[in-house]
Amino acid sequence: MQLALTPDTRWDIPFGELIPVVGRSGFTALGCPSAQASPRTRRAFEDAGLACHELMALLITRDAERTLEHAERLAVAAAAMSAPWVTTVFVATPQPDLIARCAAIFADAGTAMAVEFSPLGPVPGIADGLEVMEVAGHGARLLVDTWHFTRGPSTWADLARLPGEKIAYLQFTDVAAAGSADPVDETMNRRPLPGDGVADLRRFADQVRDNGFDGYVSVEVLNGSLRAQPVPAAVSAQFEAAARYWG
């Protein structure tokens, strides 16, 4: 396993200054927002000893033309960063032809679609995500986020049946004890550090290991209080909390 970081894009730090902070923290990879992808950014990653494991992010919407245009831009950005995965989020009911065309665009650029299921969208759980993955083809795999797994319809049996080779990578965080009246606020602002919430992260980690997964575990703790801390402290806190499960 390799610990990576999915950055909070609302941290008060330019992305170029974040890269060396993450490189010094113990993480081996960092997610890159598509707007930041460039040869200069790639050199900064290399200088910091970091890989780019994910390019963020394609939104699958009802507007097929705009979605395809976005996929084309992301494919260029992913190639610039040598990112193996493009995070793909569904805000509209998936259209099979559109998904397959986006996945083909990524494949031509040497990257692949990471299908992210979420209980807040039209692809809520593991089973739904696998269906989309199969429709996409072209090397698409499933992105499993522990918050989405815990709060959504997926079961431990679903996770146990998920072969490691069908997982693109993991996003790792804990879940607040009391669900918010606004689940969007909960997932965007109230995710606890691993070990500080109610998700059974030890069982999750053991299960995906048993399934044969051995890839990137990308820590994604979106939390208002953590956001208010100095960024180096926030990055270190996330690494230290996650390393207890994956060390």
* Size of the chain, expressed as the number of residues it contains: 247
Rounded-to-integer distance, Cα 134 and Cα 17, Å: 38
Specify the 3-state DSSP secondary structure of 176: coil
Beta strands 167-172 and 29-30, pairing class: unpaired
The pLDDT of residue 219 is above 90: yes
Per-residue pLDDT at 158 = 98
Task: Give me the percent of the chain exceeding a pLDDT of 90.
Answer: 98
- Residue 166's contacts (CB-CB under 8 Å, 6 or more residues apart) are 130, 133, 141, 142
The pLDDT of residue 83 is above 90: yes
Beta sheet of 216-219, edge-to-edge order: 29-30, 2-5, 216-219, 167-172, 141-145, 112-116, 85-90, 55-60, 32-33
Rounded-to-integer distance, Cα 99 and Cα 246, Å: 33
Rounded-to-integer distance, Cα 209 and Cα 164, Å: 8
Per-residue pLDDT at 247 = 77
Q: What is the separation of C-alpha 246 from the centre of its chain, rounded to a whole number of angstroms? A: 17
Task: Give the predicted TM-score (pTM) of the model.
Answer: 0.96
What kind and span of H or E run contains 89? strand 85-90
Mean pLDDT value of segment 44-68 = 98
Beta bridge partners of 13: none
The pLDDT of residue 97 is above 90: yes
How distant, in Å, are the alpha carbons of 12, 22, 30, 58, 82 from that of 16? Answer: 12, 11, 12, 22, 17
Residues 177-199 pLDDT 10s: 976 679 999 999 999 999 999 99
